[in-house]
Structure 1
């Protein structure tokens, strides 16, 4: 039972990381219908921005979060304006373009900074563990879980309780009619893409003490994030949160029953079966019309 409790906490921790990465993907696809294969590189840029701020400016992870959000969001805004905006309604071209952008970003970091792993120190205030009976929980991982919930709630408020969210929902439902009422769809799309990129940057900043900071770090993470978005229902925030917990905990449980490799195979097999019977995910939503 001790091992099970700690493994379930590890699964919840992984779920919080997947949720933060998948939120940006869910928003971008739900609003724009864009499959962004460069999303993992936004995570990587957030990690390297955190490393640079800590190494050269002495800024820790926590105060660096808003700076990383703005910086990576700006990169996303530029990419949307320069490339993605020209490729709406051309899904295959968008996939190829964002895949190429991801490779370019990786190579730029590899050439400019190097391919070796970079160390980022976690915040001292969150060092140590919290123990509840047999359960040993890292304070930093508890913080990551709590912040992922805050980000989910904040994103929900942005999409449902603000003027921007109302305009975004209007554009999703019918872009033509929305533009007739004076809503500038291109501007809405640019801000949405930048916001999704900024969320990925924050995820990259938060995982730097937990993962190796290397140019290819986002590749594996974004695959799991895509699975979260697909299982949850494309564009659904509640679905993304539910799928992240489901996949994180399933991975943790199967890792106990089997080994990590077989556990991973079992989770992927379960996802394939789920998609077979619910091809639109757990909480399907209408995305673009």
Structure 2
């Protein structure tokens, strides 16, 4: 039983990372209808920015978080303004363009920094474990879980309680009418894309003590994040949270009962069945009018 609880905790911590990544994807798709295949590379850029902050500036992970959010968000804003903004209402072109951007970012990191794995140490005060009986919980993973909840609540507040959120919802419902009322839809789209990219960068920062920091690190993570968005319901924040926990825990339990490879197959089989039963996801939203 203790092994089960340990595995459930590991699955919950992984779900927390997936949630932050998927939130960015859900917001970008919900607002703009853009399937961003470069989202995993934003995670990777966040990890490498964290490494650079620690290696060259001596910043810890916590001190790096706001810096990473701004840097990766700015990169996302630049990509949206120069490329993505010209491809709205052309979904296939957008998919191909963001896929190409992702490859370019990976190769740029390989050339500038190198393909070798980089190490980032976690905060000193979060080292060690919390032990309750035979259940061992990493202090850092506990921090990641609570931090992801804070990000979820902050994102919900941004979208529902602020002027920016009101304008974003107006643009989602009807872009042309909202522009008649003076809302600059292009500016809203750019800021939304930048926010989604910044969230991916934060996720990259948080996973640096847990994953190897390499140019391809975001590829597998973004696949799981896409599954979270699809299962939760495209554009749904509540759905993304529920689906992240579901996939994280299913992955952990399947890995315990069988093995990682077959466990992965089991998770995908469950996803296929769920999509068959609920093709619009657990909490579908009318994202674009």
* TM-score > 0.5 by shorter chain: yes
Q: Which stretches of structure 1, 4 residues or more, deviate above 3 A after TM superposition? A: none
User: TM-score, structure 2 length as denominator?
Assistant: 0.99
2:225 corresponds to: 225
1:193 corresponds to: 193
Q: Secondary structure at the match of 2:249?
A: helix
1:70 corresponds to: 70
Gaps of 5+ in 1: none
Question: Which whole-Å CA distance do the structure 2 matches of 1:134 and 1:192 have between them?
Answer: 44
* Structure 1 vs Structure 2 CA RMSD: 0.5
Question: Which whole-Å CA distance do the structure 1 matches of 2:213 and 2:245 have between them?
Answer: 24
1:50 corresponds to: 50
2:140 corresponds to: 140
2:163 is aligned with 1:163: yes
2:12 corresponds to: 12
Q: Secondary structure at the match of 1:119?
A: coil
Question: Which whole-Å CA distance do the structure 2 matches of 1:57 and 1:183 have between them?
Answer: 40
Gaps of 5+ in 2: none
1:279 corresponds to: 279
Question: Which whole-Å CA distance do the structure 2 matches of 1:75 and 1:57 have between them?
Answer: 20
Question: Which whole-Å CA distance do the structure 2 matches of 1:253 and 1:123 have between them?
Answer: 29
Q: Secondary structure at the match of 1:284?
A: coil
1:41 corresponds to: 41
Deviates more, 1:127-136 or 1:37-46: 127-136
1:249 corresponds to: 249
1:236 corresponds to: 236
Cα deviation, 1:21-79, whole Å, max 9, x if unaligned, reads 10100000010000000000000000000000100011111001000000000000000
Question: Which whole-Å CA distance do the structure 2 matches of 1:5 and 1:277 have between them?
Answer: 30
Size of the aligned set, in residue pairs, is: 289
Report how far residue 132 of structure 1 moved: 1.2
Question: Which whole-Å CA distance do the structure 1 matches of 2:43 and 2:272 have between them?
Answer: 26
Q: Secondary structure at the match of 2:149?
A: helix
Report how far residue 254 of structure 1 moved: 1.1
1:109 corresponds to: 109
Q: Secondary structure at the match of 1:136?
A: strand
